[in-house]
Amino acid sequence: MGLEVVLPSGEVLWTGNKCVKDVAGYSLKDLFIGSEGTLGVITKVLLRLIPNPAAKKTMVATFDAMDKAAAVVSTIIAAQIIPCTLEFLDRTTIHCVEDYAKIGLPLDCEALLLIETDGHPAVVAEEAAQMERICRAGGALEVRVARDDAEGAKLASARRSAFSALARVAPTTILEDATVPRSELARMIRFVEAVAKKYHLKIGTFGHMGDGNLHPTFLTDERNHEEMRRVEGAFKEIFDEAIRLGGTITGEHGVGLAKKSFLPKFAGDAQMRVMRELRRALDPQGILNPGKMFD
Amino acid sequence: MGLEVVLPSGEVLWTGNKCVKDVAGYSLKDLFIGSEGTLGVITKVLLRLIPNPAAKKTMVATFDAMDKAAAVVSTIIAAQIIPCTLEFLDRTTIHCVEDYAKIGLPLDCEALLLIETDGHPAVVAEEAAQMERICRAGGALEVRVARDDAEGAKLASARRSAFSALARVAPTTILEDATVPRSELARMIRFVEAVAKKYHLKIGTFGHMGDGNLHPTFLTDERNHEEMRRVEGAFKEIFDEAIRLGGTITGEHGVGLAKKSFLPKFAGDAQMRVMRELRRALDPQGILNPGKMFD
């Protein structure tokens, strides 16, 4: 809700406040958020706390085809349910996670959805039952509903350990976060699979289906220069496809150095020019995080 | 979720997309939103639609003292209920509304709360019952719960007609939207009452208590120059107090010309300088809405 920002001049700026509504002046707060340290250094944040949900229900559903999992996600969203968790793991990720964390995940499947709903107990019970029905009707191999919070937490740990589990199996792990409108998820996941085949690469994909946010994770070895060139080619294709589908090159991790070269294609000339001008206006000497996001 | 903006150069910029998450580049969208036409002309907007709530419950509670109404608002929020409507009308506004719309509002009270909750039927029923209990425990003179949607809509019209009802009674109506953190609402409403007395002015106050957003409405006559000077003095005191309480000079209506002179005190030197620099960067010739918000 508010930020304290140190500007390149050394001046300290406070923007935002405890008001739920405030339209006085430009939304500087939102300009600084996500600016990756290129416009100012954030030294304090004012956050709104929200109460813990009264109830929660966790379930895992497995599918013999990724498309079925994606269709189930679409049906859940079309039913106007907004689960607090709607995570997807592909076959590679499922096997790595089970190997690593021994949760007892079903291994004979191509895709796994981890689904959680929270809130008022009556709503949670209703939504959980409805989502279980949607999974079964959508051809799930198995739907496992956690009987209690402990079992729920165990199932949820599958998603939390995904990155660590993948990181174990190769010397270098490169995690991306290409994001697309939810309606394009199935297409994007299929595309990542095809790219992995085309470039002879191992990619484990997991992600937040509820947000259209995918994490194709390259399991590679940076010492292998020939393979790294293939990784770069694959990256480029994945980002190009995300943009083509109306998506973005980064859903939550930011641009930094790694995605800097992809930003102009995503943002377009006008946005790039405006971003450069804003940066020049706020940091004329270019002393803040130079080289990050764009030159 | 997205905007098409025509820049002063004539260039057309698109910012935002259908992704739920997107952190690629600066949040230009949020910079343009609320910039009051001073950074670019918004020509298209991409909006997210949310489903209609399945159920709704409306009630009206009256109080013999404004402080009791404010305390009830605090108790409702502390109970972690977020009503979709939590509107306040003071005595002046109640009488004007009843005179105008003949809703059958109770007239023998100092403050009226219009409360609505919507969402899942079970949650709505529970929250409505809880809020009714809170109103009664908080010393409400009367709590009227709408029996059906038609009665609910009739009660809700009290708030919707507030401005028209006030506007009828004086040649000139000046509506403000000073906003404070919710915890400071009672203090702010008392302050507005005191200012009305001090400057011998008629002020009807209504507003969105759930947002801390007040609409002190001056019922005056712009042909009366002496009275207009008192109105200006009263304004200044109200805005100063809103700022002192950690609030803002405008919760939803914007700065424009009317609140331009109050922006520097609210925003502070550093924010004013940054806003000026951003405006200069985007509109170096100063052709967009000149004179609005700040010089």
pLDDT digits (tens, 9 = 90+) for B178-206: 999 988 888 999 999 999 999 999 999 99
User: Does residue B159 carry a pLDDT above 90?
Assistant: no
Contact B30, A27 (CB under 8 A): yes
For A244, the token pair is 């083509």
pTM: 0.93
Q: Which chain B residues contact residue A18 at CB under 8 A?
A: 181, 246
pLDDT computed for residue A1 by the predictor: 96
Percentage with pLDDT > 70 across chain A = 100
Complex-level ipTM: 0.92
- Facing A246 at nearest CB: one of B18, B252, B253: B18
Per-residue pLDDT, averaged over B278-287, amounts to: 96
Question: pLDDT confidence of A186, banded at 50, 70, 90?
Answer: confident
pLDDT higher than 90, residue B227: yes
* Beta carbons within 8 Å of A135's beta carbon, 6+ residues apart: A59, A61, A72, A113, A115, A143
pLDDT digits over A149-181, tens only? Answer: 999 999 888 888 888 999 999 999 999 999 999
Q: CB distance A278–B278 less than 8 Å?
A: yes
Identify which of A24, A274, A278 has the shortest CB distance to residue B255.
A24
Give B70 to chain A, closest Cα distance, Å.
16
Q: Which pLDDT belongs to residue A50?
A: 87
Both tokens of residue B29? 């969208």
Q: Which residues contact A292 (CB under 8 A, 6 or more apart)?
A: A36, A37, A38, A255, A256, A257, A260
More confident site: A51 or A116: A116
Portion of chain B with pLDDT greater than 90, in percent: 84
- Encode pLDDT of B239-248 as tens digits: 999 999 999 9
Find the CB nearest A248 among B24, B267, B271: B24
pLDDT of the residue at B225: 96
The answer to whether the Cβ–Cβ distance between A20 and B252 falls below 8 Å is: no
pLDDT of B104 strictly over 90: no
Best of B21, B127, B211 to substitute, by most chain A Cβ atoms within 10 angstroms, is: B21
Residue A104 pLDDT: 87
- pLDDT attached to residue A117: 96
- Look at residues A207, A232, A198, A239 and name the one whose alpha carbon lies nearest to residue A218: A232
Token pair recorded at residue B200: 């011998």
